[in-house]
Amino acid sequence: MTINEIQDELIDDFSFYQDWMEKYEYIIQLGKEVPLIKEEYKKDDYIIKGCQSKVWLYPELRDEKVYFTADSDAIITKGLVSLMVKVLSGHTPQEIAQADLYFIDEIGLKEHLSPTRANGLLSMVKQMKLYAVALQMRS
């Protein structure tokens, strides 16, 4: 699936949940599905700054595609990073760098995108794109 197809699927999934509580329960559930970062990478080098909780994110290039693993010590944040990994993992660096992440607004998480929010969703997006660009230059 392309990045946009995944986004559309998520928008569809989230449309079932009208209530914010169900939405957060779903996000928490998604957190449990995140491909976990190896313990050896859970160090400061892979921490995303700008989050009140800790978020670790590790990128890997395989067959010209970027695969992310991640973790967080807060479960809502873990759900948010899981969402981002779901959308961006398994695509080429170029696709990731150029991705327009319209789903965040559509599923009602736009409030989390503000640079002043403590959860760092914006920092996650930035860091994932930066990793993609860096891997693109290396390949």
Partner 1 sequence: MKTFDIDTVRADFPILSREVNGKPLVYFDNGATTHKPKQVIDAIIRYYADMNSNVHRGVHYLSQISTDAFEVTRRKVQAFIHAKHEHEIIITKGTTEAINIVASCYGRAFITAGDEIIISAMEHHSNIVPWQMLCDEKGCKLRVIPMNDNGELDIEAYRSLFSERTKLVSFTYVSNALGTVNPVKEMIDVAHAHDVPVLVDGAQAIQHVAVDVQALDVDFFVFSGHKMYGPTGIGVLYGKEDLLNSMPPYQGGGDMIKDVTFEKTTYNELPFKFEAGTPNIEAGICLGDAIDYIQDIGLDAIKAYEEELLAYATSRLSEIEGIRFIGTATRKSSVISFVVDGVHPYDIGVILDKLGIAVRTGHHCAQPVMDAFGIPGTVRVSLAMYNTKEEIDALIDGLKRALNMLL
Question: Cα–Cα distance between 95 and 128 in angstroms, integer?
Answer: 12
51 catalytically annotated: yes
- Minimum CB separation of residue 103 from partner 1 in Å reads 20
Of these residues, 27, 37, 51, 101, which one is catalytic?
51
Q: Pick the closer one to partner 1 by CB: 11 or 74.
A: 74
Based on CB atoms, which residue is closest to partner 1, 86 or 112? 112
Find the shortest distance in angstroms from Cβ 122 to partner 1.
16
Distance CA 72, CA 132 (A): 21
Contact residues for partner 1, defined by CB under 8 A: 20-21, 24-25, 28, 52-54, 73-77, 118-119
* Local structure of residue 2 (DSSP, 8 states): -
In angstroms, what is the minimal distance from the CB of 43 to partner 1? 16
- Smallest gap from residue 77 Cβ to partner 1 (A): 7
Instruction: Name the residue nearer to partner 1 (CB basis): 61 or 76.
Output: 76
CB nearer to partner 1: pick between 118 and 130: 118
Which amino acid, one-letter code, is at 139? S
Q: What is the DSSP string of 4-64?
A: HHHHHHHHHHHHT--SHHHHHHHHHHHHTTS-BPPGGG-SGGGBPTT-SS-EEEEEEEETT
Q: Report the alpha-carbon angle 132-128-116, nearest 5.
A: 145
| Residues with a known catalytic role | 51
